[in-house]
Amino acid sequence: MNASVDRLEPQSGTEFFKTTLIHPVAYYETLAQTSKIIERRANIDGQIKSLLHNVHENLKEQKYKHTNRRQDEETLKKQKLKEKVEPPPTVKEQEVQTNLSTLDKPMTPPSGRVSIPRAKAMCTQKETERLHHAIPPPNVPHFDRTAGVKEVLHQRALLEGMLMEHKQLQRDRETIVHEIQMMRNYLDDIRGRLDTSLKKLNQKVPSVDDHYCSDFQFFRTKFYNQLPPISPSPPTK
């Protein structure tokens, strides 16, 4: 297509417009339209690339979060299996553990405050409960699947619109190239007709003198034929 458009450049100055019957204003208007279409297509290509990059990054982030969540679930399952495999403690072990816990448990002060080791033990207990019940940790942004799906659908709609516009621009460009080709064929036809007429005019035309000579010869013979026969002269003595 570009080759057919580039062939319309003038050969030397206004020689192209002299040999063809196209107007210079229409010619440059067509060139301006084609350049605008090419620039618009380049802009659309850049937008499509950026949109595809955003979609790729979003999908990569979703995959990363999904893999992290899967790893957490696998660790929880392994921990549950370990807890199931461990044998239950005997009665003596339970008594020893209760005695040790009562000995290690410090006395709470009368003000209601908890000591530092007791607070650490409570924190670890809450952490184990959170892991056991698969509760998400606090102050961590939770990924919403519906929001991600909406964002992907929105980007997909934008991409489809841009692709439709790109196809429309491509069809417009093809029609412009087809019209330019038809114009070139029409101009070639006119040029061929002018060349044939010029060849006919440049051929040798019979001059007036030739016609005059032939006509003069014809009338001369006709005149002599119409004359009476000349009698022979009498013999001289």
SS3 148: helix
Domain that holds residue 24: 19-81
Residue 18 confidence (pLDDT): 52
Q: What is the mean pLDDT of residues 188-217?
A: 72
Residue 43 falls within a domain, yes or no?
A: yes
Q: How confident is the model at residue 95 (pLDDT cuts 50, 70, 90)?
A: low
Select the highest-mean-pLDDT range: 43-57, 96-110, 165-179, 202-216.
165-179
Rounded Cα distance between 99 and 82, Å, is 26
Query: Contact at 8 Å (CB) between 36 and 169?
Result: no
Residue 132 confidence (pLDDT): 54
Residue 157 falls within a domain, yes or no?
A: no
Q: What is the mean pLDDT of residues 3-8?
A: 47
Residue 221 falls within a domain, yes or no?
A: no
Lowest mean pLDDT among 23-32, 68-77, 131-140, 187-196: 131-140
Rounded Cα distance between 120 and 142, Å, is 26
Residue 6 confidence (pLDDT): 46
Query: Contact at 8 Å (CB) between 44 and 169?
Result: yes
Higher pLDDT, 162 or 128: 162
Q: Is the pLDDT of residue 163 over 80?
A: yes
Residue 121 falls within a domain, yes or no?
A: no
Q: How confident is the model at residue 103 (pLDDT cuts 50, 70, 90)?
A: very low
Q: Is the pLDDT of residue 139 over 80?
A: no
Residue 58 falls within a domain, yes or no?
A: yes
Residue 113 confidence (pLDDT): 63
Residue 2 confidence (pLDDT): 45
Residue 115 confidence (pLDDT): 66
Residue 75 falls within a domain, yes or no?
A: yes
Q: Tell me what percent of the chain is helix, strand and coil, each rounded to the nearest 5.
A: 75, 0, 25
Residue 105 falls within a domain, yes or no?
A: no
Which of these three, 36, 60, 81, is where a domain ends?
81
Question: Which pTM value belongs to this model?
Answer: 0.26
Higher pLDDT, 175 or 68: 175
Residue 79 confidence (pLDDT): 74
Q: What is the mean pLDDT of residues 48-69?
A: 78
Could you tell me where the beta strands, DSSP code E, fall in 9-108? none
Query: Contact at 8 Å (CB) between 16 and 10?
Result: yes
Rounded Cα distance between 189 and 181, Å, is 12
Q: What is the mean pLDDT of residues 132-145?
A: 55
Select the highest-mean-pLDDT range: 11-20, 31-40, 59-68, 118-127.
31-40
Residue 1 confidence (pLDDT): 43
DSSP 8-35: TS-SSTTHHHHHS---HHHHHHHHHHHH
Residue 4 falls within a domain, yes or no?
A: no
Lowest mean pLDDT among 84-88, 163-167, 175-179: 84-88
- Total domains, the chain: 2
- Could you tell me the CA-to-CA distances from 122 to 105, 114, 125, 135, 203 in Å, in that order? 12, 10, 5, 17, 117
